[in-house]
Amino acid sequence: MRTNSVNVVRIPTNGPGDVSGLLSLIQQGKIDPRSIVAILGKTEGNGGVNDFTREYAVSALSAALAPYVDLPSQRVEQRIAFVMSGGTEGVLSPHLTVFTRDDVSDRGSEVISGKRLSIGMAHTRDFLPEEIGRDAQIRETAKAVAAAMAQAAIVDPQDVHFVQIKCPLLTSDRIEAAMARGNETATNSAYGSMAYSRGASALGVAVALGEIEGEIEDKDVLRRFDLFSSVASTSAGIELMHNVVIVLGNSASSAAPFAIGHAVMRDAIDSAAVIDALKSVGLHTEHDSKPSTAARELVNIFAKAEAAPSGCIRGFRHVMLEDTDISSTRHARAAVGGLIGGLSGTGAVYVSGGAEHQGPSGGGPVAVIARLSDDQSD
Amino acid sequence: MRTNSVNVVRIPTNGPGDVSGLLSLIQQGKIDPRSIVAILGKTEGNGGVNDFTREYAVSALSAALAPYVDLPSQRVEQRIAFVMSGGTEGVLSPHLTVFTRDDVSDRGSEVISGKRLSIGMAHTRDFLPEEIGRDAQIRETAKAVAAAMAQAAIVDPQDVHFVQIKCPLLTSDRIEAAMARGNETATNSAYGSMAYSRGASALGVAVALGEIEGEIEDKDVLRRFDLFSSVASTSAGIELMHNVVIVLGNSASSAAPFAIGHAVMRDAIDSAAVIDALKSVGLHTEHDSKPSTAARELVNIFAKAEAAPSGCIRGFRHVMLEDTDISSTRHARAAVGGLIGGLSGTGAVYVSGGAEHQGPSGGGPVAVIARLSDDQSD
Amino acid sequence: MRTNSVNVVRIPTNGPGDVSGLLSLIQQGKIDPRSIVAILGKTEGNGGVNDFTREYAVSALSAALAPYVDLPSQRVEQRIAFVMSGGTEGVLSPHLTVFTRDDVSDRGSEVISGKRLSIGMAHTRDFLPEEIGRDAQIRETAKAVAAAMAQAAIVDPQDVHFVQIKCPLLTSDRIEAAMARGNETATNSAYGSMAYSRGASALGVAVALGEIEGEIEDKDVLRRFDLFSSVASTSAGIELMHNVVIVLGNSASSAAPFAIGHAVMRDAIDSAAVIDALKSVGLHTEHDSKPSTAARELVNIFAKAEAAPSGCIRGFRHVMLEDTDISSTRHARAAVGGLIGGLSGTGAVYVSGGAEHQGPSGGGPVAVIARLSDDQSD
Amino acid sequence: MRTNSVNVVRIPTNGPGDVSGLLSLIQQGKIDPRSIVAILGKTEGNGGVNDFTREYAVSALSAALAPYVDLPSQRVEQRIAFVMSGGTEGVLSPHLTVFTRDDVSDRGSEVISGKRLSIGMAHTRDFLPEEIGRDAQIRETAKAVAAAMAQAAIVDPQDVHFVQIKCPLLTSDRIEAAMARGNETATNSAYGSMAYSRGASALGVAVALGEIEGEIEDKDVLRRFDLFSSVASTSAGIELMHNVVIVLGNSASSAAPFAIGHAVMRDAIDSAAVIDALKSVGLHTEHDSKPSTAARELVNIFAKAEAAPSGCIRGFRHVMLEDTDISSTRHARAAVGGLIGGLSGTGAVYVSGGAEHQGPSGGGPVAVIARLSDDQSD
């Protein structure tokens, strides 16, 4: 018996404050605003500490959706998870991906075969600045992942294909507040704290899904890159102090006409992994001779990118970590965005930077959502 | 009868001033310094007006090669063409590609089948600042291309697969010098002049190879992007006032164990074109099920990248042209470098930015040099 | 008889979306929201084409003030002029300057001596993309300046000390729209169009105030830098297609406890001009041995900065125009902000970049508003 | 009895590889190349990890001076100290300052009154990557400062006005080398290591000059900013693994027609300190009503700049530390360069970024060298 369904819509934007595409779909009845549970977006800022396009987008979305959900603008975020990832370098194109979830009656759903896309969400408590990038953030995140899986009716960790987390970062103010309490933060650098927060959050996913055995210590964060989650994608933003966890996977309880799959890029030029991820949901690259399965259609790709901490990719030196003009996250998003854009035929994909403990060192997870053909979904 | 042979060696570098790899190969007898005709390099600067890594690399190479060619350091550049393209964004890796050319006796070369890699060079006179980006630069470049083809013993324009040009740019000083003569330059922006110079040089190639019919006017430069060369690659640098032209193609007179081919990327995500270019010299992508021909081996890929002037790639907006923090050439190199790096399995490829009139608008040429297996080359 | 009064308040912000300081002053009764006529702000973006902190700040201010002025959020901007200048490089500090204007009864104002701060506003019609940077923008701006002077009750152009203009820029879309109409825009570069729009707007001020004699032609814009206004400050933003004009000067009709004065920096290191501007309203630099007049107090400084187009400052080369990593406007704001911050003792000053035709080439206007002591203002 | 003399010449450059000004002065007999002991330069790179303009300048200077000092190019640096500081943001202008030293006979020098400019140099041993930013670097630097003072014939620490140090930084390779030895470096960030190296080197100066009492521990570096030297200026570069120490001060043994003085900027807008430093050698700011002493003439100003780690300057927030697009050192140099340029009337001053433990937190030392008038120097 199918008990819920999910809808996923990708909407291009003309700027971080552009909500016209979303409102148009709402007005056309194609999106029910009361069913929206999460919106993942790529915005065109620098993706760094001072990327205000993320909070601007959230502010614009909140104001636009407030009347539909009967909440004041500033409380919309408590109901809908907004995850804005800054940085659309190279061929990447700013866009939103809107996820809705509905309860469905049993009728008709018995003919659906296989597991289908499901979504679940949870969040941690607020962290103290000195907890960011450390054990507390890892443990609380793991708890939230378990809660989100339960909500998505996903039992088997193997059915989880993407866990998006929004996590906090440190600012001068927050670092000072910790100091005033006599505590040291994991780093004194605002930019550097984004890596710590992303890393600890990803380790939390790995713990929840059983991808890591044994204990993780504070000092393993950003050091032991052999510890990682193959499905975690974490994004740091200045606008919150807790982690928001969104689990995407396939569930026997879902009646959605979508499926999700993933692969793990072992480095930033791992084209085989991207192709594997496409194939895992029945899609093929455009230059592939074989036709893609029936009428399956790409909805979006979700990937993480990072500059290999070793300074090398397959034996050749890269300069991303030594560039004082462009942050390494921007370099990495541009490159991986170029590869995924080329293989999928579109730059409107969600490639996010900073893949610490998200996939192997220098690599990262790549997940694909496909819309199934009508035959398959009825 | 084969009359010349060419050798091509790719050498990674540890920095713009690093000549140790080259010197080591010379000392091992693998490169004869007196046979070097051209060195194309990717250096790790910003690729813009103030990218001094290009002239630093040329200065270091000149000083290193001077004793071998019995010339004072500052005159080495008159004998060997150095083309340094700045910008190794994303997965791109700094390296040099050294081309040597030798006369060969007839012995053994009669068993070689097909056309083989050949190289020819020429240069224009010095330009006045006010000639850059205009008719004079187009015409003089076309003449130099013809001269370089003759030197390479290439008769059919179809056998030309890559024409690398090094061309000048404007600086405040040069713009003022023109003004002092009562002349206006094509642009008052130093950065902007790089595009004008690259564009006019590429149009010169198109004229020489018969890719364009009819007259080109000054106002067509950077406007009529339907006029382009499919094999031109032009790079602007502050260190010269003339164009240096290097023609790469296949010639029946060459006994070299290498072949070159090319394709044209119609946009920055044209993976099919990259694969076609690889296939044109018998290579396949690494995730391809079919094995690559015999023991053919990739030597290097030469490609141009640019941000689509339309602001869109396959219907989706890109932000490269509206980013005040990162120049569009850096964005484009990073993205196309990611795609080519992914398909070829290495970031040590020559991807150069600014593809005005080099391939269609938003796209660019991609050429591949492969080493033939021993069987094929004897 | 004094007929109006102006209040000026400087408010630090914690980010582009921060309206808490303004709301707090409104709640304390220190600012009457219905009297607000203009808000000038410095926001912490890059000040370039893709600086979304400006529109984010406007969006936040509109949402915050909407309930006080009984207008829907998106219409607040029609009543209050918001001018956000992006870029707080170096010591510059993000802040807002709020201007209110009230009608005053005659009572008490007869004892006020001298002219006092007054403000007037007007705006032009929307421009077509192809009008930006050209004659139409110059003429329409001149008309709007005259209208704003009348509103401020300023008769003598000598009493105008600062004219802030917010003007549009070109985007890829707008350039294409012009092309589709068969018209060419002044430039094809989005970033470059900011200079054209600022320049033409400044020339409009010069025309209105009689600072230029004779005709100005389209080709003079960004060429004849001997034509300039000594009081114009123009700022380009993506969010509008018309010019908004704010005239600040001293008027015999004003009962405000403030005065404004200005000087003209002849280059970016003209400390004497900054000191003159401070002295013009009775203020002195902090290291000055003489005490400042009575209890006069600095409210804010408004200045324009630019990289000398000649490439030199007092005979020494600067690199601002040849830097592909940092735009010249960011360089110039940082440097002039450092000088003004050092002489005034605070980084919370309004230094805006891009001073084309605003002051002499390489220089720019610098205006100072001082609060008069109680004795002086009663 | 005067035993040595020093000459100081400031030479503008047209690029990092430009040695024409220096060679011209040598050919005119105004600089004796065999007397050159140190060259301090400002080059126009980003001042960060990948600023190759520093090593390019050193390479060009070495090649140019080699024939004059009878050394192969690569050994010139062992005889002459080259300190290239990258980053000429804003009004700063690329230039070299050449220091020569000669033994002088006693004749005539007895009529010289007061202490005069003297220079001394020393260097430490090479450091291991894991020693950078830690105790070993502090102690070895202190020893080298004492040795350099002795060479300069300066006895009283109060006579030391500027200690320029060139120190190493970490790269991915160096960090890995330490890891391979089982040791951790002070930081894993190449960019971050520049701060550690500068900080420890400055603390070494403070120890040598008695500016700090008691022990310094590894954990104080970049933490206890109350510990600092008032005369240290340290610059990190990729091209060396040891510290080079140059002491500038006034000595009774010097017969040079120059004097040096200094003041300490307490923050980045401390104009009073800049004026004090100018006054300390008899110079005044150009807008000062009092004429400067006799014919004293500014030779150069040497200052350090940094973004206040507190995030505030005199109560107002700055954004330098939270900008992912422009590094804080570039922001700080631009701002302080603007102030010093404005007060001294020239942008050709040596303002270097990263003032950790060099002056108080957020501030830095500012030293001035003046040429004395003929009357004074005979």
Among C105, C137, C152, the domain boundary falls at C105
Q: Is the dihedral of CA B202, B208, B210, B214 positive or negative?
A: positive
Q: What is the pLDDT of residue B113?
A: 81
Do D239 and D121 reside in the same domain of the chain?
Answer: yes
Nearest CA among C44, C269, B46, C273 for reference residue D90: C269
Q: Is A51 on the interface with D (CB under 8 A)?
A: yes
Q: What is the largest CA-CA distance in chain A?
A: 63
Amino acid at D224: R
Encoded amino acid at C309, one letter: P
Report the C-alpha gap between A192 and C116 in whole angstroms: 50
Report CB contact under 8 Å: C50, A44: yes
d(CA C3, CA C254): 6
Report the alpha-carbon distance of residue A93 to residue A75 in Å, rounded. 28
- Strands annotated E in A127-278: 160-168, 232-237, 244-251, 258-265
Cβ atoms of residues D264 and D342 within 8 Å: no
Shortest distance between the Cα of C229 and any Cα of chain A, in A, equals: 34
pLDDT score at D326: 97
Strand partners of residue A42: A85, A95
Which among C216, C238, C256 is the end of a domain? C256
Residues D224 and D142 in one domain: yes
- Which one, of D164, D323, D151, lies nearest residue D243 by Cα? D164
Q: Is residue D214 part of a domain?
A: yes
Shortest CA distance from C309: residue in chain B: B172
- Cα A359 → chain centroid: 13
State whether the Cα torsion C223-C225-C231-C235 is positive or negative: positive
Res A107 pLDDT > 60 = no
Shortest CA distance to C185 belongs to which of C137, C225, C150? C137
Question: B378 lies in a domain?
Answer: no
Are D201 and D234 in contact by the 8 Å Cβ rule? The answer is yes
Q: Where does residue A214 rank: exposed (0-12), middle (13-18), buried (19+ CB within 10 A)?
A: exposed
Same domain, B37 and B79: yes
Alpha-carbon span A363 to A264, nearest angstrom:
7
Q: Is the pLDDT of residue C7 over 60?
A: yes
Bridge partners (DSSP) of residue B165 are: B234, B245
Reported as a single tens digit per residue, the pLDDT across B286-331 is 666 555 555 799 999 999 999 999 999 999 999 999 999 999 999 9
Decide: residue B300, CB within 10 A, 0-12 exposed, 13-18 middle, 19+ buried.
buried
Q: Which two tokens stand for residue D265?
A: 């900027």
- In a shared domain, residues C54 and C168: no
**A96 & A126 share domain:** no
Q: Determine how β-strand C116-123 pairs with β-strand C244-251.
A: antiparallel
Residue D172 contacts A, CB cutoff 8 Å: yes
Of the candidates A295, A256, A299, the one whose C-alpha atom is nearest the C-alpha of residue A277 is: A299
Rg of chain A (C-alpha set): 20
Parent domain of D267? 258-371
Query: Which of B42, B115, B166, B304 does the annotation list as catalytic?
Result: B166
Return d(Cα A126, Cα A137) in angstroms, integer.
10
Q: Which chains touch B (3 or more CB pairs under 8 A)?
A: A, C, D
Closest residue in chain C to residue B327, using alpha carbons only: C324
A108 or B195, higher pLDDT = B195
Q: What is the CATH number of the domain that holds B252?
A: 3.30.1330.180
Residue of C12, C90, C323 lying closest to D335 (CB–CB): C90
Indicate whether D167 belongs to any domain.
yes
The stretches of A133-189 forming alpha helices (DSSP H) are 135-151, 172-180
Residues A219 and A339 in one domain: no
Q: pTM value?
A: 0.94
Q: Indicate if A96 and A185 belong to the same structural domain.
A: no
- The 8-class DSSP code of residue D208 comes to H
Distance of CA D366 to the CA centre of its chain: 10
C184, with CB counted inside 10 A (0-12, 13-18, 19+), is middle
D377 found inside a domain: no
Binding residues of C for Mg(2+): 306, 355, 358-360, 363
CA distance B184 to chain D (A): 23
Q: Are strands C244-251 and C160-168 parallel, antiparallel or unpaired?
A: antiparallel
Residue A222's φ and ψ, nearest 5 degrees, are 65, 15
pLDDT, tens digit, 9 for 90 and up, residues A229-280: 999 999 888 878 999 999 999 999 999 999 999 999 999 999 999 999 999 9
Total structural domains in chain D? 3
Cross-chain CB nearest to B46 (options C50, C188, C325) = C325
Give residue B5's identity as a one-letter amino acid code.
S
CA dihedral A191, A194, A199, A200 (to 10 degrees): 120
* pLDDT reported for residue D113: 81
Residue C109 has a CB neighbour count (10 Å cut-off) of: 18
- pLDDT confidence of residue D232: 98
pLDDT band at A377 (very low <50, low <70, confident <90, very high): very low
Instruction: Select the residue of B171, B311, B323 nearest C172 (Cβ to Cβ).
Output: B311
A49 touches chain B (CB under 8 A): no
C377 domain residue, yes or no: no
Whether residues A262 and A311 share a domain: the answer is yes
Which amino acid appears at position B192 of this protein? G
Active-site entry in A62, A109, A233, A235: A235
pLDDT score of D378: 40
Cβ distance C50 to B191 less than 8 Å, yes or no, reads: no
Using 50, 70 and 90 to split pLDDT, how confident is the model at A185? very high
Which of D55, D83, D105 represents a domain boundary (last residue)? D105
Residues A168 and A289 in one domain: no
Whether C73 and A59 lie within 8 Å, measured CB to CB = no
Q: For the segment B84-130, what is each residue's pLDDT rounded down to a tens digit? A: 999 999 999 999 999 999 998 765 556 788 999 999 999 999 999 99
* Local confidence pLDDT in tens for the 378 residues of chain D: 788 999 999 999 999 999 999 999 999 999 999 999 999 999 999 999 899 999 999 999 999 999 999 999 999 998 999 999 999 999 999 999 999 999 987 655 567 889 999 999 999 999 999 999 999 999 999 999 999 999 999 999 999 999 999 999 998 889 999 999 999 999 988 888 999 999 999 999 999 999 998 889 999 999 999 999 999 999 888 878 999 999 999 999 999 999 999 999 999 999 999 999 999 999 987 666 555 555 799 999 999 999 999 999 999 999 999 999 999 999 999 999 999 999 999 999 999 998 999 999 999 999 999 999 755 544
Identify the pLDDT of residue B377.
45
In whole angstroms, give the CA distance from residue A90 to residue B319: 8
End-to-end CA distance of chain D: 14
CA distance C262 to C249: 10
CATH code, D31: 3.30.1330.170
D56 and B16 within 8 Å at the Cβ level: the answer is yes
How many whole angstroms from its chain centre is CA A129?
23
- Is D320 part of a structural domain of the chain? yes
The label of the residue with tokens 């205006």 reads C367
- A153 - beta bridge partners? none
- Is A52 an 8 Å CB contact of chain D? no
C-alpha span between D231 and D237 (Å, rounded): 20
Please check whether residues D69 and D81 belong to one and the same domain.
yes
> Would you say residue C376 lies in a domain?
no
CATH code for position D319: 3.30.1330.160
User: Which residues in chain C have their CB less than 8 angstroms from residue D287's CB?
Assistant: 271-272, 275
Residue A377: inside a domain, yes or no?
no
Q: Is residue A290 classed exposed, middle or buried when 0-12, 13-18 and 19+ CB atoms within 10 A define those classes? A: exposed
**How many CB atoms sit inside 10 A of residue D217's CB?**
12
Distance of CA B365 to the CA centre of its chain: 10
Put simply, whether B341 touches A (Cβ < 8 Å) is yes
Partners of A100 in the beta sheet? A7, A36
In angstroms, what CA-CA distances link D145 with A345, D210, D235, D239?
62, 12, 15, 21
pLDDT digit string, tens, across residues B21-39: 999 999 999 999 999 999 9
- Whose structure tokens read 């068993």? B111
C44, pLDDT greater than 50:
yes
Same domain, yes or no: B210 and B280? no
On whether both B216 and B278 belong to a single domain, the answer is no
